[in-house]
Structure 1
Amino acid sequence: MNRDDNAFFVITGGPGAGKTSLLAALAEAGYATAPEGGRAIIRDQVAIDGPGLPWRERGLFAELMLGWDMRSHAQAQVQGGPVFFDRGVPDVAGYLALSGLAIPAHIERAARQVRYRRLVFAAPPWRENFAQDAERKQDFAEAERTFAAVTGSYRDFGYEPVELPRASVAERLAFIRERIGAAG
C-alpha cells in the first residue's frame, strides 16, 4: 500500500441501516468518501439485462462488488486525510457466506491484502429506517442476517466492528468523529 490504511474507515451493515445517509453527511462535513458498489452494479446490470444481479447470479454479483471495492481502495490511496468507505472487501466475503456460497481463495486473499482501519463502524438493522425499493429487494429479516454476516466477516479478517447508535445522522456523525479522534 502507498498510503496508511489506518486512515481508511469502513461503514458496513445491512440494507436500510442508514449507511448512505451517513456517508453523505461525512462528505458534507468535508471527509473523502467512497460509495458502495452494490446499487450502481445493480443499476448497470439491469440496464443491460446482465447476469450480475443478486437475484440471478450471486457469485458473479460478488465478483463485480470485489472489483468495485478494490478499485475504490486503490483510488483512495491518492486522497489526503481520512477516507470513509460504504462497505469494503470483507463485505464481499460476508455476502457470499450469507448466500451459502463458498468464499473463493482469491476473495480471501483480497480481504487479507486490501486493508482498512481495524475499527469498523457497523450500522445495525433499524426497522424504522428500513425500506425496500427497486434495487433493495431484501426484507428486514434478511437485513438482520446481512448485518450478522458482514460483521462476522470483518471479525474473521481481524477487524473490530463497533455498532453505530440507532440515532440521527448528526448523532452518528458525532459518534464517528469522537471515535476517530486525531485521525479526523
Structure 2
Amino acid sequence: MRRYVLTGTPGAGKTSILHGLADLGHAVVEEAATAVIAEAQARGEDEPWTRASFIEEIVELQRRRQLAAAAANSVQVYDRSPVCAHALARYLGRPVPASLTAEIERITAEGIYEPQVFFVRNLGFCEPTSARRISFAESLEFEKVHEESYHAFGYELIDIPAADLARRVATVSAAISSHGP
C-alpha cells in the first residue's frame, strides 16, 4: 500500500489537484479539517477552530478515513495528514493533544504514509471561504509551519510549484507512477 500526502498552504489548490487525480483514476481521501468545519457550521457554529477539541476532531476523522481506505487500492492520495494537524496546532499556538501525538507515533511506526510528500506551493493569493478565513500573508506563515513540521518528522517534500491545474495534476500523477506499483 502506498499512501501519498498532498499538503501546503491554505488555498494552494490541493483539493482541486486531488479531484484531478481522482478523475485520472487515483484513489483519494478528502481533507478532514474542512469536513469538521463544514459540519460544525451546518450546526450553526461559526468558528469551530476556536473550540478546544478542534484538533482532536480532525485527528479522529483523519484516522477513521485512513483506516476505512486501507484496503481499497494499492495507491492512495490524501489531502493532508496528521502532520498537518500538528502544524495547525503549532500555528494556532495550541498544545499538541495527546491523541495527535499518539496518531503521529502510529503513522510513523506503521509507515502509513510515503516518506515523500507533495508540497503544493501557494498561487500568489488565498481566496477566503467559510472554512478558510486567512489572509494571504497568514497563509504564507502557515505554509512555513507546514514545511517545518514535515521536515521535523522526517518527510521529504516534493515541490509542486504554482502552475495551471492540469500541469500540477500531471506532475503529481507522474511522480506517483514513477515510484512503481
Deviation at 1:51, TM superposition (A): 8.4
Deviation at 1:105, TM superposition (A): 3.4
Report what 1:158 is aligned to. Answer: 154
Q: Over residues 85-113 of structure 1, what are the superposed CA-to-partner deviations in whole Å (9 max), with x where a residue is unaligned?
A: 00011111110011111213331221121
Conserved in 2, the CA contact under 8 Å of 1:90 and 1:111? yes
1:87 aligns with 2:80: yes
Distance of aligned partners of 1:109 and 1:51 in 2 relative to their CA distance in 1, 3 Å threshold: farther
SS in 2 for 1:85: strand
Structure 2 gap ranges (5+): none
SS in 2 for 1:136: coil
Q: Over residues 59-99 of structure 1, what are the superposed CA-to-partner deviations in whole Å (9 max), with x where a residue is unaligned?
A: 32111110111111101211122100000111111100111
Structure 1 gap ranges (5+): none
What TM-score do the two structures reach when normalised by structure 2? 0.89
Conserved in 2, the CA contact under 8 Å of 1:62 and 1:96? yes
Which deviates the most, 85-94 or 174-183?
A: 174-183
**Correspondent of 1:105 among 98, 103, 123:** 98
Deviation at 1:182, TM superposition (A): 4.1
1:9 aligns with 2:4: yes
The share of aligned pairs that are identical, in percent, is 27
Off by >6 Å, runs of 4+ in structure 1:
none
1:81, 1:30 → 2: CA distance? 12
Which deviates the most, 7-16 or 160-169?
A: 160-169
Report what 1:119 is aligned to. Answer: 116
SS in 2 for 1:183: coil
1:53, 1:14 → 2: CA distance? 20
Mapping of 1:45-84 within 5 angstroms? 45-50=40-45, 53-54=48-49, 56-57=50-51, 59-84=52-77
Tell me how many residue pairs correspond in the alignment: 176
Q: Over residues 115-142 of structure 1, what are the superposed CA-to-partner deviations in whole Å (9 max), with x where a residue is unaligned?
A: 30000001122224x2112221111111
Distance of aligned partners of 1:105 and 1:43 in 2 relative to their CA distance in 1, 3 Å threshold: closer
Conserved in 1, the CA contact under 8 Å of 2:55 and 2:97? no
1:122, 1:93 → 2: CA distance? 16
Deviation at 1:183, TM superposition (A): 3.4
Conserved in 2, the CA contact under 8 Å of 1:14 and 1:147? yes
Conserved in 2, the CA contact under 8 Å of 1:52 and 1:64? no
Mapping of 1:26-45 within 5 angstroms? 26-45=21-40
